[in-house]
Amino acid sequence: MTENDFVSSRYIENQIEGTVTWKSPSNIALVKYWGKKENQIPANPSISFTLDHCATTTTLAYVKRNKEQQQERFSFDLLFEGSPKPEFKPKIGKFFERVEKYIPFVKDYHFSIDTSNSFPHSSGIASSASGMSALALCLMSVEKALNEKITNDYFNQKASFLARLGSGSACRSIEGEMVVWGQNEDVKEASDLYGVKLSQEIHSVFKNYQDTILLVDKGQKQVSSTVGHDLMHGHPFAEMRFKQAETNLSKLIKILQNGDQKGFIELVESEALTLHAMMMTSLPYFILMKPHTLQIINKIWEYRSATGSNLCFTLDAGANVHLLYPENEKDTVLTFIKNELVAYCENGQYICDQIGLGASLMDN
Ligand code: DP6
């Protein structure tokens, strides 16, 4: 598929109004997307686990605009957790600008967007992946109402394509259980334009993997992802990093198939630390981990060597720690978290999640 395949040319139906609701999950990258080119094209391929509980639910009500309402390019209201959220509007306005070429109906309707997250507000958990994918899916439902002929595959691909234009990692939130984004040698159907579900059969140990998110620092992110990606331009290690991500993706796909958990731990932790190393070695440089992040990492390493557990960690571009582990270690790891790690979480907060199956359409 090329960009032109996502340009809608003609709508068959003339829908006056409607309402649609999608629930879309967050995702956690195992091989990280860090660095991008023009138009939200990733500098390297990435792969993620789709989450289950951490999700955004968005209801989109749409009604045809009359001529007088058409002075503004786009018309929309926004409620976040039930209250108006003017500070989110510029990001959505920008998203509409980016997607207009592909879904020209966006300028014909007034939209009321009502959105809420399942995870606590300002928990430091990135809501852009779940938020942008939920909105993209709602817009695809409008497109489907205007052209019922579109297939499910096209629906999902284009939802991912649109979500990517809102936030890169959002294109990995449409489907589960693992999604690859970015061209690479190992997944022939992968694209820079949208995420694809990993079709290879995964070893049973990686099915039902758990992700417990330790909320170390719930404050505003020190560096936005957009600024972070930008720091990879002219970064002294950028080219090596992009090559390494490709190699790591290739290795990880084999690991996921053969069930090599030790290999998984080494690769996933190395990816997390490399992401942070890129930030520490850019100009300007940043340290996004907090002392508690490091204490948790050390505790995990001690726990692993004492017990032989397969628990490992990954990080986003922030201080929170994602603990990844197989389902059969759930009880023991949760006991370890309660006894040893909760003390490092802000207000003792953590979120238990697991691999999920992707977004779902809700009844209105
Ligand atoms: C560290 O998708 O938030 O989470 O495309 O600028 O919106 P934008 O960036 P974003 O970047 C996510 C970066 C990451 C790694 C990842 O999810 O792959």
CA of residue 348 to ligand 1 center, whole Å: 26
How is 41-63 classified by DSSP, letter by letter?
EESS-EEEEEEEEEEEEEEEEEE
Q: Which atom of ligand 1 is the closest one to the Cα of 275?
A: 1
Mutate to test the pocket of ligand 1, among 41, 225, 279 (most ligand atoms within 8 A of CB): 225
Residues 38, 44, 45, 49, CA torsion sign: negative
Amino acid 245 reads A
CA distance 29 to 135: 21
Secondary structure element (H or E) that encloses residue 75, with its range: strand 75-80
Nearest alpha-carbon partner for 346 in 123, 55, 53, 127: 123
Q: Which atom of ligand 1 is the closest one to the Cα of 40?
A: 5
Nearest alpha-carbon partner for 201 in 141, 143, 148, 254: 254
pLDDT at 187: 97
CA distance 45 to 180: 7
Instruction: Take atom 5 of ligand 1 and give the residue whose Cα is closest.
Output: 168
What's the Rg (C-alpha) of the chain?
21
Supply 24's token pair: 């879309």
pLDDT at 229: 97
* Residue that is written with structure tokens 């955004």 in the block: 56
Domain boundaries, the chain: 1-364
pLDDT at 15: 85
Mutate to test the pocket of ligand 1, among 169, 180, 231, 322 (most ligand atoms within 8 A of CB): 169
Strands 46-64 and 109-117: antiparallel
Supply the pTM of this predicted model: 0.97
pLDDT at 248: 98
Q: Burial, 86: exposed, middle or buried (Cβ in 10 Å; 0-12, 13-18, 19+)?
A: exposed
- Bond from prior residue into 177 cis (ω within 30 degrees of 0): yes
Measured from CB, residues less than 6 Å from any atom of ligand 1 are 29, 32-34, 40, 46, 126, 128, 167-169, 225-226, 229, 275, 316-317
Strands 360-362 and 109-117: unpaired
Task: Express each pLDDT in 1-10 by its tens digit.
Answer: 999 999 987 7
Look at phi and psi of residue 73 and say left if phi exceeds 0, alpha if psi is from -120 to 50, else beta: alpha
How is 121-156 classified by DSSP, letter by letter?
TTSS---HHHHHHHHHHHHHHHHHHH-TT--HHHHH
Instruction: Take atom 3 of ligand 1 and give the residue whose Cα is closest.
Output: 225
pLDDT at 127: 82
Instruction: Take atom 7 of ligand 1 and give the residue whose Cα is closest.
Output: 167
- Residue by residue, pLDDT tens for the chain (364 residues) are 999 999 987 788 788 999 999 999 999 999 999 999 999 999 999 999 999 999 999 999 999 998 776 778 999 999 999 999 999 999 999 999 999 999 999 999 999 999 999 987 666 676 899 999 999 999 999 999 999 899 999 999 999 999 999 999 999 999 999 999 999 999 999 999 999 999 999 999 999 999 999 999 977 777 888 899 999 999 999 999 999 999 999 999 999 999 999 999 999 999 999 999 999 999 999 999 999 999 999 999 999 999 999 999 999 999 999 999 999 999 999 999 999 999 999 999 999 999 999 999 999 8
pLDDT at 126: 66
Residues 347, 353, 358, 363, CA torsion sign: negative
CA distance 99 to 166: 9
CA of residue 98 to ligand 1 center, whole Å: 18
Backbone phi and psi for residue 311, each to the nearest 5 degrees, phi listed first: -65, 135
Fold of the domain spanning 1-364: Ribosomal Protein S5; domain 2 (3.30.230)
